[in-house]
Amino acid sequence: MITIKSASQIEKMRKSGEITKGALDLIEKSIKPGISTKALDKIAYDYIISKGAKPNFLNYNGFPGTICASVNDEVVHGIPSKRAILKEGDIISIDMGAILDGWHSDAARTFGVGKISAEAQKLIDVTRESFFEGLKYVKHGAKLGDVSAAIQAYAEGHGYGVVRDLVGHGIGRNLHEDPSVPNFGRAGHGVKLVAGMTLAIEPMINEGTWKVEVLDDDWTVVTADGKLAAHYENTIAITKTGYEILTL
């Protein structure tokens, strides 16, 4: 069931979103060759707790981290580890969120570690840009398929694969709510967007094939061809006149 949030409820999500953004900004400043993804996880945990909030990923369906830390060909759900040491030229996707006063936020960014290749930077840039291409179609009365189709067209127009197995979602009192928000689809189709809906839109874009596999840890999703993947996500609220990004 899709839930419509009131202005006061969206304000609570806005405050939660500010904490998630702050944690991501702090992580970005901390990413460098030689740091472990476990150390990044602790930075995020400590920051969220210091703001009076809770990490919403930690122990969610058994997930053992505050952040998902996905390196290079890892698309999403990478488990933070002391053994996962970042090195020059890596890229890392950080997906995370917070709960404040019972309201969730969720966002993701992909960062370069030190100096990265032009190809890796382009993938990161196009993934981020595909989010904003989709956002152009977010408004009261539009169809969700308009957003999904725009993301897909932009990413595939640059020769990349759009992950099919994982999608965005509604968000609010729960981390995952209706509706599902695919990064692929047909314009003019899907759920009608209504002011007060809150969504986590999150393009997951692969350098090569859109196909993915899950590792033996039952969490980490990787590209089927071993090529790079990038991820960009924000929590948004739909308004009468368009949208508001709550995690940016």
Distance separating alpha carbons of residues 54 and 59, to the nearest angstrom: 11
Strands (E) located in 137-194:
161-162, 168-170, 177-181
Return the domain boundaries, the chain. Answer: 7-245
Residue pair 81/36 in contact (Cβ under 8 Å)? The answer is yes
User: What is residue 200's predicted lDDT score, i.e. its pLDDT?
Assistant: 98
User: What is residue 238's predicted lDDT score, i.e. its pLDDT?
Assistant: 98
User: What is residue 132's predicted lDDT score, i.e. its pLDDT?
Assistant: 98
Query: Edge to edge, what strands does the sheet with 221-223 contain?
Result: 74-76, 221-223, 212-214
Tokens of 150: 């725009």
Residue pair 219/77 in contact (Cβ under 8 Å)? The answer is yes
What's the CATH code, domain 7-245? Answer: 3.90.230.10
User: What is residue 109's predicted lDDT score, i.e. its pLDDT?
Assistant: 98
Collect all residues with Cβ–Cβ distance below 8 Å to 46 and sequence separation of at least 6.
Answer: none
pLDDT mean by block of 10 residues, the chain; 248 residues: 97 98 98 98 98 98 98 98 98 98 98 98 98 97 97 98 98 98 97 97 98 98 98 97 96
User: What is residue 244's predicted lDDT score, i.e. its pLDDT?
Assistant: 98
User: What is residue 212's predicted lDDT score, i.e. its pLDDT?
Assistant: 98
**pTM: predicted TM-score of the whole model, two decimal places:** 0.96
- What is the gyration radius of the CA atoms in the chain, in angstroms? 17
Distance separating alpha carbons of residues 209 and 225, to the nearest angstrom: 7
Strands (E) located in 90-227:
91-100, 103-112, 161-162, 168-170, 177-181, 198-201, 204-206, 212-214, 221-223
User: What is residue 13's predicted lDDT score, i.e. its pLDDT?
Assistant: 98
